Chains A and B, each alone.
Chain A
Amino acid sequence: MSAEEILVVKGLKKYFKTTRGVVKAVDDVSFSVMKNETFGLVGESGSGKSTVGHVIMGIYGPTAGSITFSGKDISMGVGRRPKELKKQLQIVFQDPASSLNPRRTIGQILGLPLRVHHLVPDGNYAEKVFEIMDLIELPREFAVRYPGEQGGGEKQAVAIGRALATGPSFIVLDEPTSALDVSIQAKIINMLMRFQKEFNLSYLFITHNLSVMRNVAQRVGIMYLGKIVELADTPEFFSKPLHPYTKMLLSAVPVITREEEALKPEKVTSTGEISGALSVPPGCSFHPRCPFVMDVCSKVVPLQVEYKKGHYVACHLYPSAINAE
Chain B
Amino acid sequence: MTGQLLEVNDLHISYKVYEGLLRVLNGVSISVGEKEKVGIIGESGCGKTTTMKAIMRILAANAMVAGGTIAYKGHDILRLGRQELMRLHRTSMSMIFQDPTAALNPVFKIGDQLQDIVRYSEWRSSVPNKQEVRTRAVELLKSAALPEPERILDSYPFQLSGGMRQRVCIAMSLASAKDLLIADEPGTSLDVTIEDQIMRLLKQIVEERGLSVILISHSIGAVKGFVTKLYVMYAGMMVEEAPTEELFSNPLHPYTQNLLKAVPKLTGGGVPEGIAGRIPSYLTITDACRFGSRCRFAKEHCHINAPPAFDVGNGHKVACFLYGGS
In the assembled complex, A257 has its CB within 8 A of some CB on chain B: yes
Q: Which of B191, B193, B267 contacts A260 (CB 8 A)?
A: B267
In the bound assembly, the distance between CA atoms of A199 and B231 in angstroms comes to: 42
Is residue B197 within 8 Å, beta carbon to beta carbon, of the partner chain? yes
B222 touches A238 (CB 8 A): no
Q: Which of B194, B264, B273 has the most CB atoms of chain A within a 10 A radius of its CB?
A: B264
What 5 pairs between A and B have smallest CB-CB spacing?
A254-B221, A187-B274, A186-B274, A252-B196, A270-B193
Q: Which of chain A's residues have a CB closer than 8 A to the CB of B162?
A: 45
Do residues B221 and A190 form an inter-chain contact, with CB atoms below 8 A? no
- A29-75 CB contacts (< 8 Å) to partner B: 44-45
Query: Taking the complex as formed, is A255 at the interface, i.e. its CB lies under 8 A from any CB of chain B?
Result: yes
In the complex, whether A185 has a CB less than 8 A from a CB of chain B is: yes
Interface segment, one of B24-32, B57-65, B130-138, B254-262: B254-262
* A 235-270 contacts with B by CB, 8 A: 235, 238, 248-257, 259-260, 263-264, 270
Chain B residues with a Cβ under 8 A of chain A = 43-44, 161-164, 191-197, 218-222, 224-225, 248, 258-260, 262-276, 278-279
Cβ of B270 and Cβ of A44 under 8 Å apart?
Answer: no
**A215 touching B218 in the complex, CB below 8 Å, given contacts A183-B262, A254-B224:** no
Q: Verify if A153 is at the interface (C-beta below 8 Å from B).
A: yes
Interchain CB contact under 8 A, B265 and A270: no
Instruction: Determine the distance from Cα of A189 to Cα of B120 in the docked complex, in whole angstroms.
Output: 48
Output the nearest chain A residue to B187 by Cβ-Cβ distance: A254
Cβ B194 vs Cβ A273 within 8 A: yes
Q: How many residues of A contact B (CB 8 A)?
A: 46
A188 to B163 Cα, complex, angstroms: 29
Write out the residue numbers on chain A whose beta carbons fall within 8 Å of the beta carbon of B262: 182-183, 185-186
Count CB-based A-B contacts (< 8 Å).
131
With A181-B43, A185-B262: A249-B225 Cβ-Cβ less than 8 Å: no
A142 to B224, CA, bound (A): 39
* Beyond known contacts A44-B192, A214-B264, A248-B193: 17 more, CB 8 A cutoff: A44-B194, A152-B44, A154-B278, A182-B218, A185-B262, A185-B274, A186-B264, A209-B192, A212-B264, A215-B268, A215-B271, A216-B271, A238-B268, A250-B266, A252-B195, A273-B161, A273-B164
Q: Given known contacts A181-B43, A183-B262, A215-B269, is B224 in contact with A256 (CB within 8 Å)?
A: yes
Q: Tell me the nearest residue of chain A to B272, going by C-beta.
A: A186
Give bound CA distance, A74 to B191, whole Å.
Answer: 32
Flag A168-208 by CB within 8 Å of B: 1 or 0 each.
00000000000001111111111001000000000000001
- The reply on A2 being an interface residue by CB < 8 A is no
Partner of A214, one of B192, B248, B265, B278: B265
Q: A235-B268, A254-B222, A254-B224 are in contact. Are A183 and B258 (CB under 8 A)?
A: yes
Give the chain A neighbours of B264 by CB distance below 8 A.
Answer: 185-186, 189, 209, 211-212, 214-215
- Are B163 and A210 neighbours in the complex by a CB distance under 8 Å? no
Question: Is the Cβ of A260 less than 8 Å from the Cβ of B266?
Answer: yes
B45 to chain A, nearest CB (A): 9
Is A190 in contact with B268, judged by CB distance below 8 angstroms? Answer: no
With A249-B193, A273-B163 already in contact, the answer to whether A183 and B268 are too (CB < 8 A) is no
Whether B268 lies near A274 (C-beta < 8 A) is no
* Contact, CB under 8 Å: B197 / A271: yes
Is there a chain B Cβ closer than 8 Å to A282's Cβ? no
Q: Which residues of B contact A182 (CB under 8 A)?
A: 43, 218, 220, 259, 262-263, 274
Q: A181-B218, A274-B191 are in contact. Are A189 and B259 (CB under 8 A)?
A: no
A151 on the B face (CB < 8 A): yes
Contact B163 A238 (CB under 8 A): no
Neighbour of A184 across the interface among B221, B268, B274, CB < 8 A: B274
CA distance A152 to B275 in the complex (A): 14
Show 22 residue pairs from A and B whose CB-CB distance is below 8 angstroms, ordered by the A residue: A45-B191, A153-B278, A182-B43, A182-B218, A182-B262, A185-B262, A186-B273, A189-B264, A189-B271, A208-B191, A211-B266, A249-B193, A252-B196, A253-B221, A254-B219, A254-B221, A254-B224, A256-B220, A257-B248, A270-B194, A270-B197, A271-B197
Report chain A residues within 8 Å CB of B263.
182, 211, 256
Instruction: State which of A190, A235, A253, A273 has its C-beta within 8 Å of the C-beta of B271.
Output: A190
Task: Report yes or no: A183 in contact with B275, Cβ–Cβ below 8 A.
Answer: yes
CA distance A3 to B253 in the complex (A): 46
Contact in complex: B221, A255 (CB < 8 Å): yes
Chain A residues near B268 (CB, 8 Å)?
Answer: 214-215, 234-235, 238
> By the criterion CB–CB under 8 Å, are A256 and B260 in contact?
yes
Q: Is the CB of B266 within 8 A of A210?
A: yes
Complex CA–CA separation, A94 to B195 (angstroms): 20
Query: Does A214 contact B266, Cβ atoms closer than 8 Å?
Result: yes
- Which one of B164, B222, B271 contacts A186 once the chains associate, using CB atoms below 8 Å? B271
| CB closest residue in chain A, given B219 | A254
CA distance A296 to B221 in the complex (A): 37
Q: Looking across the interface, which residue of chain A has its beta carbon closest to that of B194?
A: A273
